[in-house]
Amino acid sequence: MKMSHRPTTRSKNKRHRPDDSAQATAEIFWKIHSTGQFTEDDLNQLYMIWKPICQGCRVNTKDNPNCFCGLVPPPNGSRKSGLWQKMSEIVHSLGPDPSKELRASTSSPAGLTNLGATCYANSILQCLYMNKSFREGVFSVEPNVLKEQPAHLLKTLELDNGVQQDSHEFLTLLLSLLERCLSCSKLSKARTIVQDIFRGSVSHVTTCSKCGKDSEASSKMEDFYELELNVKGLKSLDDSLDDYLSVEELQGENQYYCESCETRVDATRSIKLRSLPVVLNFQLKRCVFLPKTTTKKKITSAFCFPGELDMRHRLSEHSQSELIYDLSAVLIHKGSAVNSGHYIAHIKDENTGQWWEFDDEHVSNLGRHPFSEGSSNYAAKSVQTEPVVHPSCSESIDAVATGSHVECLARKIQTGGAKSITMRV
């Protein structure tokens, strides 16, 4: 007995596009391409916007632009969930919401994300950015200069986010590269902004004790962008400046050969400050080399510096005009080891007078007088196990390295200390 075969109905209800549909679409596209013109009827045919609004189909009608059942299922349809119901999963896959990282207000400075071990770079960049004159000078650079130079700048810096580096070395390299890159600018405001703000000059003077004449090299001027001051055995910025400008006696085996006297004679040698920059940066030499162990050790002793500093009597030729510097930033290294720890910066906003703590992406307001005498007294009560040097006046600042960064801020953290002090005229 032969079985009968029923006709298949698998594709019975399958909708087929008319044979001439593809041809018609191609003709419309060709006409638009050749003439550059199109009609409303062309849009209707190409995008099928003439189709009726879907009222709840069983499945999404893909060729109907007015069907949104896949996005928002209708209450009378079989689809129970759509794209909007899954939105939380989709958004979560995109990562953290940037809107949650917004600053509390536009008056609050922004932080910088730590990329691994880049806190030393973040702190320096924040100090530079908060200097309004420097920021405006850099931002005034022509677009073509920015297009050509930043790639070379970033390539040369080669930040290693796996190794904690020295902030002083980074600042020296960064200013040197910026000075070279900005020299390509045709705008004087940008071209010499690094030199105009940070550059001063010194000379190393050697004087013969016999004839009283200075060496020929004594007249040579050397540029500086920061003054490196000794900290070991010294208690304040004034002590460090006295040490920096002190007179060294050249005697015995260290005698100096005087060309005028044509013989080796006793002499004196010292550094003379010839000119001072608008922003004076002091680098505190807290790391010392130990010859016996051939290692470096961090000096964690207390160090005081003033809120105002008069530099008139420090110049080799005393200036008649005022040279009063105001404290504008303190770079702090937290931790007792040389090659580890953490960098933060305390910076004063020159527009508002408010002090801010920059700790990578975290920025905290410290108020107008975070280093006041009252704060220091509070710190003395809070950190009883750590030595505190009480300021002699309300303008004196206490940078204590044993147990807290700046003792006057009454924060108990790892052993650390002020690494760099910036003052502005």
d(CA 356, CA 347) in angstroms, rounded, equals 5
**Which pLDDT score is estimated for 19?**
55
Distances from the Cα of 264 to the Cαs of 12, 213, 217, 256, 322, in angstroms? 114, 14, 17, 5, 41
Report the 10 Å Cβ neighbour count for 33. 8
Q: Is the pLDDT of residue 75 over 90?
A: no
The mean pLDDT of 376-389, rounded to a whole number, is: 29
The mean pLDDT of 72-83, rounded to a whole number, is: 67
Q: Is the pLDDT of residue 409 over 50?
A: no
**Which pLDDT score is estimated for 58?**
61
Q: Which runs of E-coded beta strand occur in 276-415? A: 279-285, 287-290, 295-298, 303-306, 308-310, 324-334, 342-348, 355-359, 362-367, 396-399
Q: Are 40 and 49 in contact (CB under 8 A)?
A: no
- CA geometry: angle 264, 269, 270, nearest 5 deg: 170
d(CA 195, CA 400) in angstroms, rounded, equals 32
Q: Is the pLDDT of residue 320 over 60?
A: yes
- CATH code 3.90.70.10 region(s) in the chain: 227-243+278-424
Question: Mind listing the pLDDT tens digit for each residue in 259-268?
Answer: 999 999 999 9
**Which pLDDT score is estimated for 22?**
77
CB-count burial class (<10 Å; 0-12, 13-18, 19+) for 422: buried
For residue 242 the two structure tokens come to 């006295």
Q: Are 273 and 245 in contact (CB under 8 A)?
A: yes
* Residue 359 amino acid letter: D
Q: Are 399 and 417 in contact (CB under 8 A)?
A: yes
* Three-state DSSP class for residue 143: helix
Best CATH choice for the domain 227-243+278-424 from the list 1.10.357.10, 3.40.640.10, 3.30.420.270, 3.90.70.10: 3.90.70.10
Nearest residue to 404 (alpha-carbon basis) of 306, 272, 300: 300
Question: Mind listing the pLDDT tens digit for each residue in 333-375?
Answer: 988 877 778 999 999 999 999 999 999 999 999 998 887 544 4
d(CA 13, CA 270) in angstroms, rounded, equals 100
Name the pLDDT band for 147 (thresholds 50, 70, 90).
Answer: confident
The H or E element containing residue 257 is: strand 256-258
- CA geometry: angle 362, 328, 246, nearest 5 deg: 130
* Residue 314 amino acid letter: R
**Which pLDDT score is estimated for 24?**
84
Q: Are 223 and 201 in contact (CB under 8 A)?
A: yes
Residue bearing tokens 């419309």? 28
The mean pLDDT of 194-198, rounded to a whole number, is: 95
**Which pLDDT score is estimated for 375?**
45
Residue bearing tokens 């010392």? 288
Nearest residue to 391 (alpha-carbon basis) of 409, 371, 410: 371
Nearest residue to 422 (alpha-carbon basis) of 309, 316, 336, 273: 309
Nearest residue to 422 (alpha-carbon basis) of 156, 134, 145: 134
For residue 209 the two structure tokens come to 């004790």
Catalytic residues: 119, 342
Report the 10 Å Cβ neighbour count for 425. 14
CB-count burial class (<10 Å; 0-12, 13-18, 19+) for 218: middle
Question: Mind listing the pLDDT tens digit for each residue in 226-241?
Answer: 999 999 999 999 999 9
Which has the higher per-residue pLDDT, 374 or 75?
75
* Residue 217 amino acid letter: A
d(CA 296, CA 287) in angstroms, rounded, equals 6
Question: Mind listing the pLDDT tens digit for each residue in 177-190?
Answer: 899 989 999 998 89
**Which pLDDT score is estimated for 206?**
95
Nearest residue to 416 (alpha-carbon basis) of 347, 353, 359: 359
Question: Mind listing the pLDDT tens digit for each residue in 28-46?
Answer: 889 898 888 889 888 888 8
Question: Mind listing the pLDDT tens digit for each residue in 267-319?
Answer: 999 999 999 999 999 999 988 888 888 888 888 888 888 889 999 989 988 76
d(CA 210, CA 260) in angstroms, rounded, equals 10
For residue 325 the two structure tokens come to 């510097």
